[in-house]
Amino acid sequence: MKFEIDSVWKCHLQDEELRRLTASKRLSLEEEHEMQMKWHEDDDKCTFIILARDLIDSGADEIASMVGDVNIFINNNIGELTTMIAESKWRRKGLGEEAVRIMLMFAFRVIGLQTFEVKISKDNVGSLKLFQKIGFVVTSECSKFNEYTLSISMEHILEAIAHLEVTHLEEEIDVSE
C-alpha cells in the first residue's frame, strides 16, 4: 500500500525499544501527521505501508492490517532505504524482506536509481541480517552514531528483484504524485 496522508499510522514509535533500534525520536500524533504531510509532498521520499496479507484476507481493513513501512530517501541519486515491522508478532515472517525487495524494484525500475545504501544501528542485528540476506554488505562504520552503512552491488540488486512477480508496477503506483 502506497503511503497516503489519510493512512492514519498507529504511532508504533511510542515503543522505546523500536525507537532505539530505528534511531527514531518520540513524536506526538500532531508531529507525526506534520512529518507525514511533509513526506507526502517531498519528491525525494517514498513510503509504502506494509500490510499483513493474512489480516487483509481475513477481512480486516487496511488500517487494521498495517504492520510496518518501507521508505526510500533520495539524495544525489543514492537511495537510502529504511524498513520497520512495528508489530512484533509480524516480525521474522519475511514481510520486511519482501517489502525491501519491492521497494528496490520500484526505485530501480520506476525511479531509475542504481545505487542504494542503508544505515543500521550496530545493535539492530535483525535488520543487519535482513539487508545482508538481500545482498547488502558493510561499506563503512560510524562509531559516533554506533551504526554501519551497507550498500548493494548492481549484480545483487538484480538478484534481489529477479524472483518478484509484481506486474504493471508503474500503473499500480502513481509516481506522478
Which strands sit side by side in the sheet containing 137-142, from one edge to the other? 45-51, 66-75, 78-85, 115-121, 147-151, 137-142
Q: Indicate the burial class of 45 (C-beta count within 10 angstroms; 0-12, 13-18, 19 or more).
A: middle
Residues of the chain with pLDDT > 90, as a percent, come to: 45
- pLDDT at res. 166: 60
**Residue 40: what pLDDT?**
62
Q: Where are the domains of the chain?
A: 12-167
Higher-scoring residue by pLDDT: 68, 139: 139
Note the pLDDT tens digit of each residue in 103-130.
Answer: 999 999 889 999 999 999 999 999 999 9
CATH topology of domain 12-167: Aminopeptidase (3.40.630)
What integer pLDDT is reported at residue 141 of this predicted model?
A: 97
Ranking 26-40, 88-102, 118-132 by mean pLDDT, the lowest is 26-40
In this prediction, residue 66 carries a pLDDT of 86
Query: Which region among 54-58, 69-73, 172-176 has the lowest average model confidence (pLDDT)?
Result: 172-176
For 146-157, what is the mean pLDDT? 94
Q: How confident is the model at residue 32 (pLDDT cuts 50, 70, 90)?
A: low
Total H helices, total E strands in the chain: 8, 6
Rounded to an integer, the average pLDDT of 61-83 is: 90
pLDDT at 79 over 90: yes
Per-residue b/e over 74-101, b at no fewer than 16 CB within 10 Å?
A: beeeebbbbbbbbbeebbeeebbbebbb
- For residue 4, give the 3-state DSSP assignment: coil
Nearest residue to 74 (alpha-carbon basis) of 106, 98, 27? 106
pLDDT at 116: 96
User: Exposed, middle or buried, 154 (CB in 10 Å: 0-12/13-18/19+)?
Assistant: exposed
Average pLDDT, stretch 79-88?
89
Average pLDDT of span 20-34: 63
The beta strand positions in 106-153, using DSSP E, are: 115-121, 137-142, 147-151
